[in-house]
Structure 1
Amino acid sequence: MNPKLTKAHLASHSQKLSKLLEVPDEKVFELPEKVLQFGTGVLLRGLCDYFIDKANKQGVFNGRVVVVKSTDKGEADDFNEQDGLFTHCIKGLENGQPIEEYVLNASISRTLSARSEWNEVLNCAKNPEMQVIISNTTEVGIALLENDKVTNNPPQSFPVKLLAFLYERWKTFGGTAKSGMVIIPTELIVGNGDKLQEIVLEQAHRNGLEPDFIEWLETHNHFCNSLVDRIVPGKPDQETRTDLQKRFGYTDDLMILSEVYRLWAIQGDEKIRKILTFASVDSGVIIERDIEVYRELKLRMLNGTHTLTCGMSYLLGFRLVKDVMSNAYLNRIITNLMLGEVSLAIPYKIDSKIKDRFGRMVLDRFRNPFLNHKLLDITVQYTAKMKMRNIPILLQYYREFGKAPELFAMGFAAYLQFMKAEKEVNGNYYGESNGEYYPINCNFAPYFYEAWENFDLDKVLANRSLWGEDLTQLDGFADAVRKYL
């Protein structure tokens, strides 16, 4: 059996490995910790940490990442066992040409558990080198939680964890301008930086923190809206992984696979650019004052189309995005939905040629034969995603055309059907398709479990707590959804 990927293994095999993949210089391990990252997810590792690692290897950013994990379980142990190292496999099509690249990422210095090592997380606030905080806590992570205290060990919600960290930093450095942080949430929420700042400030007031701290929080910390776009489905399939580990001569339990395309758009000015120097090494990092065009294209055409079609595809027996796109019927449905409905109703003025070009690029990304992108992964927090990504599309479509978008209604009906749980086990809900049970990982699973006992479509569509709107007021939409149900 191959040895684990560790710093020691890398040091003794670097010459051999450098012929097979991009490896870091040993000096990278001596770089100071400059980034606090909430989340160990593959998107952060395959995108944000990718850019930081690339910059470090070119001697530009020169800072490593401390990762905060919400629990003691799972990959936190793998990170510590592998000294934060992981292999990043990049495969896909770029300008019609196949790309295959392997990177040994050394951006992560250590991983801390918020649950059992919270004091150590707070100690990171005392590090004068710290400059940046990034997060990906899913769409439901940026939320205002009642009675959440900075004195809790740890606080319950991500915003109050962040508040506690910033409060510790203020106490340590006396509220100097230099001690402020650049905070970049990557959650798929419209105005994610603005929303996070709003909640953090509200919780600062609720926690009765000093006015001087609140002034420093508002004046010297920069909450940046951002969006991320890279398909990172996770580990390669077992056969590929086994082959690569045999070729590289080590075992890597953190290995990830991603597509070639990458985008991290960050709302900021020259001051932000001077701190986020990793942006200079890759055109995939964009720092601009207005990132709305990038956000809308990605959120609606890629994420929105995924959300409208993942449930339908799963219920029809498919499990991977690439297999869905290999089916001529579904390929046509998805293409027509994206270019003929979603594209026409993006609630932001974008040139039609730009939308068409972006959409066709997204379709090529969906077809990437190297990615085993699981449909079930797209259904996580299905309802929140449907509301945020697609309801604005639906409303704009009605403003433009005054009728129900047909393929949208089909996808929405499939979503409702997917949310029909057939059983509940210890608070976990499961649907059934083709004789097989599947998990419904959505905060609204209990609601739909009850709703489906005596299903009333109009009642569900009229539920403003789900959609922010009464969808029965959209003429013909309920009838269109009912037809497909």
Structure 2
Amino acid sequence: MNQKLTREYLASNAESLSKLVELPNDKIFELPEKVLQFGTGVLLRGLCDYFIDKANKKGVFNGRIVVVKSTDKGGTDDFNEQDGLFTHCVKGLENGQAIEEYIINASISRTISARSQWNEILACAKNPEMQVIISNTTEVGIMLLENDKITNTPPQSFPVKLLAFLYERWKEFKGSAQSGMVIIPTELIVGNGDKLQEIVLEQAHRNGLEPEFIEWLENHNSFCNSLVDRIVPGKPDKEICEELEKKFSYQDDLMILSEVYRLWAIQGDEKIRKVLSFASADSGVIIERDIEVYRELKLRMLNGTHTLTCGMAYLLGFRLVKDVMSNSYLSKIITNMMLGEVSLAIPYKIDPKVRDRFGRMVLDRFRNPFLQHKLLDITVQYTAKMKMRNVPILLQYYREFGKAPELFAMGFAAYLQFMKAEKEVNGNYFGECNGEYYPINCNFAPYFYEAWENFDLDKVLSNRSLWGEDLTQLEGFSDTVRKYL
């Protein structure tokens, strides 16, 4: 058994390891703690912590992260046993070229359990070097809980944990303007910063906190909306892990794999940019007053194209995104659909060069040979995704061109075919493809199970509860879908 990845191991084996992985220098371990991070998940480690580690190695941000494990599952042992170190494997395509990098990330100084070490977390509020709070507590983490008190040890919800931390900081620094924090939630909620601020302020009132504190909270802390985009599947497959651990001669229970592409778009001004100085170390961090353009690009071109093509590819016998892109026929359809239809109808004003460049990057991501991205995973809540991601594209296409988008209609027809359930078992619905049953994990599966008994395309397309619109009013769309169906 190899030794675990630790600071001591790095110091003893730096010369041999430097030929295999990117190493931190000794000075990094002496940097002050500047970031409090709620969450230990792979997205935070593979994206936000990646940027901070990269900046520290360039001598830019010069601050480390205190990680708060805020759930009741598991412990902090792996992090503590490895001194917060972990190997980050970056694999994928960039501009059509294969990229493969191995990085030992040293951005985490320590990991604290909210459940058993709450007072240590509050002590971090008294650190004058602290500047930034990052979170990824899942979408249900940013919610308003009744009767959640800051006096609990710890409070129940993330917003009240954050409130308790900020209240402790306000008391310590006597409400000075300079003691305010930059708070960046990365949960997948539109307007995540605005939503978090709204809940924190509401809980401050419910907890009966001083008006002076609430004034400081509102005026001297910045809650930033943000958008994160990087596929970080987590730990590599067992075989790959064993191969890498043999190559590096150490054991790493925190190893993660990610794609090359990375984006962290943060809504902010020059004041925010000054605090988040790590942004200068990598072009993947974008700080701008308006980040909606990045949300629209991702939602329409990446997510929307996935939604329009996953059912079609699955019914044609494919199971992984990378295998679909290896098929010249389907790869051409996906490329033409994305760049020739979806890109032209994003309901937001975007420079055509920006759209095209983003589309090319998305195609590289689809082709990534190292990621096992399952088509069935993309079909979960298929109908809701089609409505949210693609119906606005369809409507905008008609405004721009006054006709049905041909490949869009093909993808939509395949979606309808995918939603044809052949059997129902205890409330679960299954379609059939080449003699095999597949699950239809969609809230509208019961509706389509009945609709397919005597299928009426126009009745489905005119159902406003599905689409928010009567799609039969779009001239030629019903006929084009019917042709492919």
TM over 0.5: yes
* Shift in Å, 1:25: 1.9
User: Could you tell me how far apart the structure 1 residues matched to 2:187 and 2:451 are?
Assistant: 32
**AA paired with 2:334?**
I
Q: Is the 8 A contact 1:315 1:418 kept in 2?
A: no
Distance 1:323 1:228, change over 3 A: same
CA distance 1:473–1:376, change in 2 (3 Å): closer
C-alpha deviation, 1:323, in angstroms:
1.3
Q: Which residue of 2 aligns with 1:240?
A: 240
The alpha-carbon distance between structure 1 residues 450 and 130, as it changes in their structure 2 partners (threshold 3 A), is farther
Give the AA of the match of 2:189. Answer: I
Secondary structure of the residue aligned to 1:35 is strand
Corresponding residue of 1:301: 301
Tell me what 2:368 maps to: 368
CA distance in 2, matches of 1:130, 1:56: 16
Match of 2:334 in 1: 334
- 1:92-131 maps to which residues of 2 (within 5 A)? 92-131=92-131
Distance 1:75 1:382 in 2: 35
Residue 191 (1) aligns with residue 191 (2): yes
Contact kept, 8 Å, 1:22 with 1:104, in 2: the verdict is: yes
1:32 and 2:32 aligned: yes
Higher Cα Rg, which structure: 2
Match of 1:470 among 453, 468, 471: 468
Measure the CA separation in 1 of the matches of 2:35 and 2:429: 38
Q: Could you tell me which residue of structure 1 aligns to residue 9 of structure 2?
A: 9
Other structure's SS at 2:473 match: coil
Residue 478 and residue 174 in structure 1: after superposition, are their counterparts in 2 closer, same or farther (change >3 A)? farther
Q: How far apart are the structure 1 equivalents of 2:176 and 2:301? A: 43
Distance 1:325 1:95, change over 3 A: closer
In the superposition, the TM-score normalised over structure 1's length comes to 0.83
Distance 1:125 1:381 in 2: 41
Match of 1:353 in 2: 353
The residue aligned with 1:179 is 179
Alignment check: 8 A CA contact 1:139 1:385 kept: no
- Identity across aligned pairs (percent)? 78
**Deviation for aligned residue 1:93:** 2.9
**What amino acid is the match of 2:469?**
L
Residues 192-225 of structure 1: per-residue CA shift (max 9 Å, x gap) = 3233323333343344433222211110111222
Q: Say whether the 8 Å CA contact 2:462–2:470 is kept in structure 1.
A: no
Kept in 2, the 8 Å contact 1:458–1:472? The answer is: no
Q: 8 Å contact 1:88–1:104 — kept in the other structure?
A: yes
The answer for the alignment partner of 1:290 in structure 2 is 290
| Corresponding residue for residue 252 of structure 1 | 252
| Aligned pairs (5 A) from 1:64-213 | 64-73=64-73, 76-145=76-145, 148-213=148-213
Number of residue-to-residue matches in the alignment? 473
Could you say if the C-alpha distance between residues 142 and 314 of structure 1 is closer, same or farther in structure 2, counting changes exceeding 3 Å? farther
Gaps of 5+ in 1: none
Q: 1:280 to 1:301 in 2, by over 3 A?
A: same
How far, CA to CA, are the matches of 1:2 and 1:389 in structure 2? 47
CA change 1:392–1:164 in 2 (3 A) is farther
Q: Give the equivalent residue in structure 2 for 1:270.
A: 270
Shift of 1:307: 3.8
The question of whether the paired residues in 1 share the 8 Å contact of 2:94 and 2:361 is answered with no
Greater shift in the superposed pair: 101-110 or 184-193: 184-193
Give 2:48's aligned amino acid.
C
Q: For 1:277-334, what per-residue CA distance to the aligned partner results, in whole angstroms no more than 9, with x for missing partners?
A: 1112222222223333333222321233234434554565544321121133432332
What is the TM-score when the length of structure 2 is the normalising length? 0.83
2:59 aligns with 59
Distance in structure 2 (CA, Å) of the matches to 1:212 and 1:409: 57
Structure 2 unmatched runs, 5+: 453-458
Contact in 1 for aligned 2:429/2:446 (Cα 8 Å) = no
Question: In 2, are the aligned partners of 1:422 and 1:431 still within 8 Å (CA)?
Answer: yes
Aligned pair in 2 of structure 1 residues 172, 311: CA closer, same or farther (>3 Å)?
farther
What are the equivalent positions in structure 2 for 1:451-466 lying under 5 Å apart? Answer: 451=447, 454=450, 462-463=464-465
Deviation string 1:75-125 (CA, Å, 9 cap, x unpaired) is 844323322211111223333333222110011123334445444433433
**Within 2, Cα distance between the matches of 1:28 and 1:106?**
7
User: Distance between the aligned counterparts of 2:131 and 2:461, measured in 1?
Assistant: 48
Give, in whole Å, the separation in 1 of the partners of 2:159 and 2:420: 29
Q: RMSD of aligned C-alpha atoms? A: 3.6
- Do the aligned partners of residues 130 and 54 (structure 1) sit closer, same or farther apart at CA in structure 2, a change above 3 Å counting? same
Give 1:331's aligned amino acid: S
